[in-house]
Amino acid sequence: MSSLNQRTERRPRGRPRAFDREAVLRRAMEVFWTKGFDGCSMNDLVDAMDINSPSIYAAFGSKENLFREAIDLYAVSEGAITRQAIKEHGSGQEVIAAVLKRNIDMLTQAAAPRGCMVILGTVNIGVEHEELRAFLQSRAQNAANLIKQRLVQSLADGELAVDAHADTLATLCVTVLSGLSVQAHNGVPRQTLLDATDAFVSILPFTNKKKKK
CATH superfamily of 18-74: Homeodomain-like (1.10.10.60)
The model carries a pTM of: 0.80
Q: Give the pLDDT band of residue 123 (cuts 50, 70, 90).
A: confident
Closest CA to 32 of 11, 60, 54, 13: 60
| pLDDT, tens digit (0-9, with 9 covering 90-100), for 166-190 | 999 999 999 999 999 999 988 899 9
Beta bridge partners of 125: none
Q: Give the pLDDT band of residue 142 (cuts 50, 70, 90).
A: confident
Average pLDDT over residues 144-153: 93
Domain 80-202: which CATH class?
A: mainly alpha
pLDDT of residue 59 exceeding 50: yes
DSSP state of 190: H
What are the structural domain ranges in the chain? 18-74, 80-202
| Among 15-24, 41-50, 114-123, 137-146, the range of highest mean pLDDT | 41-50
